[in-house]
Every structure is written in structure tokens, then in C-alpha cells.
Structure 1
Amino acid sequence: MQFLFAVEDVFSITGQGCVLVPGVPHDFAHELKSGAPLLICTPQGEHIHTHIEYFVSVRSTRTLNHIPFSLPAMINKEHIPTGSQVYLQDDVKK
């Protein structure tokens, strides 16, 4: 398992799930694609096994060092509190 980031914010997109911010660091050692398996550990001790649904394009006036992504629609914003730890699970194809 590889640590990706700590959740700083979560946005809901109606009908499409939630987006985790900041997202995958640009300098992450592996190229990640939609479907990459994740483990999210909440501050309350819950473990959520999920995957990257799709990457989100963000327009910003500042340079972004991360790529935000969406989770499957069945996971709501309320499931992922700020401070949750996001890990890439080991069964990702390299």
C-alpha cells in the first residue's frame, strides 16, 4: 500500500459521486488510471475500499501539484471526512 494524500476537501457532483482534493501528486511514482484500487482510512477508523472513478479537470489561476479525482457515485461526501488518508492498494497494475 502506498500513501497518496490526506483529504483536505470533498466536493459532491450530483449523480457522479464526490471529488477528493488535493488528489494524486503529479510526481507520484506510478501512472494511475481510472479503476485504480484505493483504501481510504477515515479519522474515525473506518476503512473504505473503492477505486478512482475518473480524474477531474480543474481550472485554476495557480499551478496545481495534484490531480483531483472522483469516487464511484455510491460514495457520498459524508462518507469521506477531511483528514481521511488515501492509499493506493498494492494490486494496481504497474
Structure 2
Amino acid sequence: MARKQSFLGADFSEQFKEAYAGLQSAQQQGTDKVVMALLKQRPTPGMRVKPVEPEKHYYEARINDGDRLIHRIEAGTLYLVDVVKHDDIDRYGRKLKRR
């Protein structure tokens, strides 16, 4: 008998939606693969999921050589925050203040 696959819930921020819409097709496909792996709670070693320093409030997952998916998992929900270039990851090193 096949094992049931459990999925996390998903919440897409407006920033994530805007960043995703601005990606090229190949980048969107890579992002889709990473999101699905996270939703299934089965990240691959190539994704290199790790906390963003120094506060470790957000996590990054590698999409490709240059792009990172910023996310959090809390209470059974995957919060998709943003897609950024590797060099821009520092802005998520601290918890964002809500305005």
C-alpha cells in the first residue's frame, strides 16, 4: 500500500508573487520544483536549505546558482516570502518590520 503524502499549507506573500511574475520561464520552473519539495517536506541536498543569518527568522533555499527562495515554516504552513538574488539575501537576515 502506498504511503500517504502529507503537504504543508502554503501562503504566498505579495512580494513573492511580484518576484515570481518577474522571473523567466526557466527560473519559474526551478522555483516551482523548490516550492513543491518544501510543501512535501522533502528538500533535496542541492537546495541547501539553511537559516538566513544573523537572526535566523527566515530560511533560504537554493533555486539555481543565482536565485534564492526566502521562506518560513510555521504551524504547518509554508510562508513564501520572496525570490531574491544570492547577493541580496542579507536584507532577510533580520525579521522584517510590519508597516
Query: Do the two structures share a fold, i.e. TM-score over 0.5?
Result: no
Looking at secondary structure, tell me which structure has more helix per residue: 2
Looking at secondary structure, tell me which structure has more strand per residue: 1
The normalised TM-score by structure 1 is 0.25
